[in-house]
């Protein structure tokens, strides 16, 4: 079974400061890892993914994430936060099998960026 | 390309009625996934379909819920005899083939009164 943990329900950061949203995972095999963002009453928007290759993945809107196999982590980062980054962020993991690309999501982290 | 289209955006049903949620995948996408998001929770996988086939329904409740993806037309998630606990946001996602990542629709918010 695969699982994802997002240990922080909410992260508060001042605009212009760096932000980190934490994610750890548990999976048997090589994981595919994803970050999605959800704005109020909207669907999920893809930010970035790790499939293979470089451990540092760059995505949309200046976000990046670092895959750390030894710590089974995939933390989301941004060097300088914007108020418009305030949203709900989900980490997800999947194993590509014959049964398709089923995602297991974390419970989400609410990011609040304040002036 | 219009993206993944879900309708209706909002659906209100009385207890005991049926709810039908529709999802039109992106053009060229033949894989459809349904997820449910309960209030204050993350998304939970429900079912994975390809055209005319259910591939994985391990996340579907055993009763009252069914899904289809016919050769022509949208994918349908059907909930019979709805109860208050079915109130949630239901999201559909599509992909062109395994491993190519999803595109999510904007969801259908079901409220059972």
Q: Looking at residues B65-80, what average pLDDT do you find? A: 96
In 3D, which of A45, A47, A21 has the Cα closest to residue A106? A21
Which residue on chain A is closest to B95 by alpha carbon? A101
In 3D, which of A85, A102, A98, A90 has the Cα closest to residue A4? A90
The residues near B60 (Cβ < 8 Å, ≥ 6 apart) are B46, B47, B66, B67
Q: Which residues of B touch A99 (CB under 8 A)?
A: 48, 55-56
Which residue on chain B is closest to A5 by alpha carbon? B42
pLDDT of residue A41: 76
pLDDT of residue A20: 97
A36 contacts B42? CB cut-off 8 A: no
Can you give the three-state secondary structure of chain B, one letter per residue? Answer: CCCCEEECCEEEECCCCCEEEEEECCCCCCEEEEEEECCCCCEEEEEEEECCEEEECCCCCCCCEEEECCCCCCEEEEECCCCHHHCEEEEEEEECCCCCCCEECCCEEEEEC
| pLDDT digits 0-9 by tens, A51-68 | 888 899 999 999 999 999
User: Which among B31, B55, B101 has CB closest to A49?
Assistant: B101
Q: How far is CA B99 from CA A31, A53, B2, B78, B94, in A?
A: 11, 15, 21, 27, 11
The distance in angstroms from the start CA to the end CA of chain A is 41
Segments in chain A below pLDDT 70: 96-100
Give B 6-35 residues with CB within 8 A of chain A: 6, 31, 33, 35
B91 contacts A44? CB cut-off 8 A: yes
User: Which among B42, B45, B100 has CB closest to A106?
Assistant: B42
Which residue on chain B is closest to A34 by alpha carbon? B101
The residues near B48 (Cβ < 8 Å, ≥ 6 apart) are A99, A100, A102, B31, B32, B33, B54, B55, B56, B57
B100: confidence class by pLDDT, cuts 50, 70, 90: low
Q: Looking at residues B33-60, what average pLDDT do you find? A: 91
Query: H helices within chain A, ranges in order?
Result: none
Q: How far is CA A23 from CA A11, A66, B45, B97, B104, in A?
A: 13, 10, 19, 26, 21
Task: Give dist(CA A21, CA A9) in Å, integer.
Answer: 10
Q: Which residues of A touch B101 (CB under 8 A)?
A: 34, 46, 49, 101
Tell me the pLDDT of chain B averaged across its residues.
Answer: 92
**For residues A19 and A78, is the Cβ–Cβ distance under 8 A?**
yes
């Amino acid at each position: 079974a695969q699982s994802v943990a997002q240990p922080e329900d909410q992260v508060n950061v001042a605009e212009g400061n760096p932000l980190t949203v934490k994610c750890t995972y548990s999976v048997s095999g090589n994981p595919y890892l994803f970050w999605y963002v959800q704005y109020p009453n909207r669907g999920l928007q893809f930010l970035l993914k790790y499939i293979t290759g470089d451990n540092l993945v760059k995505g949309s809107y200046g976000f990046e994430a670092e895959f750390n196999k030894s710590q089974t982590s995939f933390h989301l980062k941004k060097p300088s936060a914007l108020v418009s980054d305030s949203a709900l962020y989900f980490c997800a993991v999947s194993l590509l099998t014959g049964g398709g690309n089923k995602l297991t999501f974390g419970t989400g982290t609410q990011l609040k960026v304040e002036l | 390309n219009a993206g993944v289209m879900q309708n209706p955006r909002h659906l209100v049903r009385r207890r005991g009625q049926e709810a039908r949620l529709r999802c039109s995948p992106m053009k060229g996408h033949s894989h459809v996934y349904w997820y449910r998001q309960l209030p204050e929770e993350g998304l939970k996988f429900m079912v994975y379909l390809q055209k005319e086939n259910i591939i994985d329904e391990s996340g579907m409740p055993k009763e009252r819920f069914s899904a289809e993806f016919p050769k022509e037309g949208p994918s349908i998630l059907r909930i019979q005899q709805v109860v208050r606990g079915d109130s949630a946001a239901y999201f559909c996602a599509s992909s062109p083939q395994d491993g190519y990542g999803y595109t999510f629709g904007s969801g259908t918010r079901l409220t059972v009164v």
